[in-house]
Amino acid sequence: MDNLFQPYALNDTLTLQNRILMAPLTRCMADENLVPTQAMADYYARRADTGLIISEATIIRADGQGYPNTPGLFTAQQIQGWRKVTDAVHAKGGKIFAQLWHTGRVAHPHFFGGEYVLAPSAIAVEGTVPRMRELVYTVPKAASHEEITKLIEDYSQAAANAIDAGFDGVEIHGANGYLIDQFLHHASNTRTDEYGQTPENMARFPLAVVDAISNRIGADRTALRVSPGAYFNMGTDARDREVFDYFLAELEKRELAFLHLGIFDDSMTFDYLGGTGSAYLRANYSKTLVGVGGYSAETGSQAIADNKFDLLAIGRPLIANPDYVAKVKAGETLVEYSDEMLASLI
């Protein structure tokens, strides 16, 4: 497993101390103003020996909220709260990116006191907010051109706020069926204007967000997470393949810090992608790729050795083991993750 403990240069400005990343993990522990707490700063600092921490998904503005107590990056108080987190991580020699999030149609007006939620098209996601059965997902409003322009500005502002808060960069959450991903899949995007129907159009908003943020804070500090395979908050449509083929070719022209697969289990295969999400991304994108989803240090190290991806993100095992990196290095037994662990920050 030596390859996991080698440094990795993302670019000229950022070198990671090892190849184990902390995957973004929503914990719903911010305070009532969606401000990160001291307990969150301590939690992240305990994981500062990973090569890079990617923060839990953090909303860019109020109407992006789909779960209780998810932190934000749009008020001065929230920026201050994150500053405590980034200072604590940096004091222990770590690096941390903010994951920037708007849940689109997976948002719920309950959380922000609004009348409706925004999405590419007026197609609701089925079901209810997890653990809040009374909150049935609503039919979203299809975003107008002005609303799309404002969303792009707000993503860019949130990225600037992240840098103000001391983050080393941002990962744009373009995965898991949230707003950006909703533009990239036919099941959630039936627009007939320049944001729908063709791969070029469906990739227009995601690329505009990537470019606005890259221009604002530098492409070397901008990363992206994508889910070419529909598996969460999203229906399957084989035409999505050509959308992602085009989108990845466009991303290839940019100099992002890394591309990260969004998946819970990377052994899952998708017919229209011809295999796993990571294999599809590797075949269509040649730059730094982060793999994730059900890996152990052993299987992840082997996947890197087999050139399936360059960096390994670890999620649930890092919830269960704050000292994951040290334990793996020392060959110690890990505590097994269970969902009950989500109730507190250890």
Contact residues: ligand 8K6, CB under 6 A: 26, 57, 67, 130, 176, 231-232, 264
Q: Tell me how far apart the alpha carbons of residues 251 and 237 are, in angstroms, rounded to a whole number.
A: 22
Among 67, 178, 246, 324, which one carries the catalytic annotation?
178
Rounded Cα gap, residues 66 and 112, in angstroms: 9
Q: Which of 312, 269, 305, 268 is nearest to 288 (CA)?
A: 312
The site partner of 140 among ligand FNR, ligand 8K6, none (C-beta below 5 to 8 Å per kind) is: none
Q: How far is the CB of 311 from ligand FNR (least distance, A)?
A: 13
- Cβ 145 to ligand FNR shortest distance, Å: 28
Q: Compute the least distance from the CB of residue 122 to ligand FNR, in Å.
A: 25
Cα–Cα nearest to 240, from 286, 194, 213, 203: 203
Closer CB to ligand 8K6, 5 or 231, in the complex: 231
Residue 225 or 241: the one with the smaller Cβ distance to ligand FNR is 225
Residue 67 vs 74, nearer CB to ligand 8K6:
67
Which partner, ligand FNR, ligand 8K6, none, binds residue 5 by CB below 5 to 8 Å per kind? none
Q: Are the C-beta atoms of 14 and 45 separated by less than 8 Å?
A: no
CA pair distance 266, 269, nearest whole angstrom: 8
Q: How many helices (H) and strands (E) does the chain have?
A: 12, 16
Residue nearest to ligand FNR (CB): 315
Q: How far is the CB of 266 from ligand FNR (least distance, A)?
A: 8
Nearer to ligand 8K6, 5 or 232 (CB): 232
Partner touching 21 among ligand 8K6, ligand FNR, none, CB below 5 to 8 Å by kind: none
CB of 67 to ligand 8K6, least distance (A): 5
Task: Name the burial class of residue 238, with classes exposed (0-12), middle (13-18) and buried (19+) by CB atoms within 10 angstroms of its CB.
Answer: exposed
Active site residue 137: no
Count of beta carbons in the 10 Å neighbourhood of residue 263: 25
Could you tell me which residues are beta bridge partners of residue 100? 58, 172
- Residue 284: exposed, middle, or buried by beta-carbon count in 10 A (0-12, 13-18, 19+)? middle
What does the radius of gyration of the chain's CA atoms come to, in whole angstroms? 19
CB nearer to ligand FNR: pick between 18 and 201? 18
143 binds, among ligand FNR, ligand 8K6, none (CB under 5 to 8 A by kind): none
Q: Kindly state the tokens that stand for 244.
A: 């992602």
User: Which does residue 99 bind out of ligand 8K6, ligand FNR, none, counting CB within 5 to 8 angstroms by kind?
Assistant: ligand FNR
Would you tell me which residues interact with ligand FNR (CB under 6 A)?
Answer: 23-26, 56-57, 99, 173, 175-176, 225, 262-264, 292-294, 314-317, 342
Which residues form the catalytic set? 178
